[in-house]
Structure 1
């Protein structure tokens, strides 16, 4: 088998980007190999060549999202920022990814027993680095030493930020609730609970 050409890499990236955009604009149900091939201006055989199946293509799209989440944890290491600023920047970057791909995030959350390989990899990352970094910043802000309490605080902070982000369309349409911009929400959250 010949090694992939440079052109193959760009074609693969185009297909993946089209898939991400299709998920973002129309949701998972709109994703078909035929539609992706048409939007990417390639034939179906190329989509299958690069990804093997629709499921593997979606798994790669999930991997892009989860990599973005992993990168947001890096800001927690920036000791030039105060602990509150690090927490805020981390949450802003995390929410930015959610806002960019809400359908993809909802799909990951609702997968249940069906786990993509990339979700498993992200779970390992969270266990080995992500949770530790998030817990460390909360410990720095609160002085809490108990690991179970730090984990509970972390899930509460995540829930307070991400649930409204994912539910915003429902809140706006169904309940006529308009939330302030995410940066203001984070300022209120951090000032209220981490003073």
Structure 2
């Protein structure tokens, strides 16, 4: 009987070695699969991290742009309401008699108008006087037309009824013009 257990022991040892070898092969395969999966997940994580950082930079840039625009264009409503005052000053200067008795009055109106325009310019408001320029529907509002001549070709602004204004290049009010046809 002692021979049989020895033989069983050898067989068991052989089976154990074979099982252990199979286990090691399966484990090595699992390790390779898991290592590949870890590398894949790390790549996905790095990609996600880069995308998140790019998104954060985009959000910061957008916020800075919006703040900048708010500072630039925050005065638009206020400046727009002052344009009527500028127009009235311009009409007053044009309507005032140009004689010696009213010279000081006209000069005072002109200085007030200039100071007003300088103050608006300081905050980015610029007048648009398109006399002689080509008509542009984006910048001008045609209120009348007149026949074209040799001096004024077709589609040219002939007269300006009311100046237009821009705020940092953005149109606040189109110029009201007469266009040659």
Identify the TM-score tier after normalising by the shorter chain: under 0.3
Structure number with larger C-alpha Rg:
2
TM-score of the pair, normalised by structure 1: 0.24
Q: Which has the higher strand share?
A: 2
TM-score of the pair, normalised by structure 2: 0.25
Q: Which has the higher helix share?
A: 1
More relative contact order, 1 or 2 (CA 8 Å, 6+ apart): 1
